[in-house]
Structure 1
């Protein structure tokens, strides 16, 4: 807090004034330069999440929305829905490229890019055409079929945080998000990304172990090729289906993109069981930088948005917490979902359920 005369001016007010000044300068020079808004937002400072809503008027939902993501999931507030089905991702493996886009590590499939003007992709399409089949996402809480679009990796610079979604205040060191668009209603991701029921987001937590999941090994094996913003590397034969655990327990809610423009068109599915990632793989992620090779800027890590208010949303799950009564058959217990739950964050709360 600063004092000017008899008035107190908060640092956040000063930051807001500075940010508005920067925006005015961009607008004044709009005729001379074409502004790429993706270049301007970050995860900290005066271009961080707290200011996304005023950085660009089109991103007003980042500040004013009521169904924003991510959220802190409270097990005691979950609504068990026995009608929630299993999630289905087909077996098709995908080729594509992994990119450091300055905000995150992103995997783009060649299937999604084959009709676009991405030169990097076009050079690869002819030799990968036999594997360029769509990956579809169905079932779960979804009423439509969704086509896989991209995969994003969020992670922290230390082990105690990194994931976007939380479980009772607990944050994992990382989170993978599979994003798909509604191919039943819309022709493209660009069309679906601002429309009702447009996107699905499947969030899978990353947990540090001595051995990683095979698909995590594929995704992290070439991180040294994308240390700086804009660098890309080819990834082949990635199985998105194998990123999901065998058990089909999950939490679901209606939310938003966790990056600008924060459109509230995402059906989120948070998988109950985390994927394994090694210490060495996490360190490789933490070596990545936000900037290009000439101006590296800060490390890419800590690329997670703070949790948002749940407001009046219903958070559903197919996990049945309550232990069933003992079977009338001697020596047998009725099966219970409780023994399959992977997260035991707040033990007192857990035992009370």
Structure 2
């Protein structure tokens, strides 16, 4: 049995949901991302949007950045297939506190986790969106969050500066695995059809 072990964290901004593809030859591919929605115009001109290839030789260590803090709270959630990936929808309510990301590179803001997107390959195909030195990984888990200090909801935040952030955890095979991660890797292959 192969196990997953996380190996890297990348932080980046994200856009709202739409039918996207990595295929350059179809509408919805990277060359069209900036045309799909007017609020995503930076995808036509910018160079710092997803997916990114982290060039290890270009990284600079910043000792002033503290580790990211994730609230450790239980939440109601639902695992679904969006047709593109497995997604854990986080249920937020007034009676139950939300799970937030703070510290690290978040400039003092608090970001509420809205959903967790799981990109996982099938068979010998690696599933990560992002790469390190061109290498794609078997799995990527993205914690998608919105800034609750500046915006009332995910929709408002998705169209605004400092509105959304994602922590992308790239996972590789290793000798042991985290028991919670094992639950995801077992459940994801069983949801083959959109809406399941």
Pairwise same-fold verdict (TM > 0.5):
yes
CA distance in 2: counterparts of 1:43 and 1:78, whole angstroms: 25
- For structure 2, which runs of at least 5 residues remain unmatched after alignment? 1-16
| 2:42 equivalent to 1:42 | no
Could you list the per-position Cα deviations for residues 264-323 of structure 1 after superposition, in whole angstroms to 9, with x for gaps in the alignment? xxxxxxxxxxxxxxxxxxxxxxxxxxxxxxxxxxxxxxxxxxxxxxxxxxxxxxxxxxxx
- Aligned match of 1:69: 50
Q: How many residues align?
A: 177
TM-aligned CA deviation for residue 69 of structure 1: 1.9
Considering fraction of residues, name the structure with more helix. 1
Q: Which residue among 76, 81, 87 is the counterpart of 1:95?
A: 76
CA distance in 2: counterparts of 1:109 and 1:54, whole angstroms: 28
SS at match of 2:26: helix
Change (3 A) 1:225 1:160: closer
- Aligned match of 1:146: 111
Change (3 A) 1:219 1:170: same
**Residue pair 2:34, 2:42 contacting (<8 A) in 1 also:** no
**Residue pair 2:127, 2:138 contacting (<8 A) in 1 also:** yes
What is the root-mean-square deviation in Å for CA atoms of aligned residues?
2.4
**Residue pair 2:20, 2:33 contacting (<8 A) in 1 also:** no
TM-score, normalising length: structure 2? 0.78
CA distance in 2: counterparts of 1:193 and 1:228, whole angstroms: 27
- Aligned match of 2:61: 80
CA distance in 2: counterparts of 1:50 and 1:89, whole angstroms: 31
TM-score, normalising length: structure 1? 0.46
Considering fraction of residues, name the structure with more strand. 2
- Aligned match of 1:52: 32
- Aligned match of 1:136: 100
SS at match of 1:177: strand
Deviates more, 1:146-155 or 1:73-82: 73-82
- For structure 1, which runs of at least 5 residues remain unmatched after alignment? 1-36, 116-128, 232-353
CA distance in 2: counterparts of 1:57 and 1:148, whole angstroms: 23
Change (3 A) 1:52 1:156: farther
